[in-house]
Amino acid sequence: MLPELREAVWARSGGRCERLLNTGLRCGRRMDRANWEGHVHHFTYRGHGRERLEDLAVWCLACHGVVHPGRVFLTKAEQEARRDARLSRRRGTSSV
pLDDT averages per 10-residue partition of the chain, 96 residues: 86 91 88 71 80 89 78 69 85 65
pLDDT of residue 36: 64
pLDDT of residue 18: 92
pLDDT of residue 47: 74
Please give the helix or strand (H or E) that residue 58 lies within, else none: strand 56-58
This prediction has a pTM of 0.65
pLDDT of residue 34: 72
Give the whole-angstrom CA distance, residue 71 versus residue 50: 24
Return the SS3 of 51.
Answer: coil
Q: Which residues of 3-37 are buried (b: 16+ CB within 10 A; e: fewer)?
A: eebbeebbeebeeebbbeeeeeeebeeebeeeebb
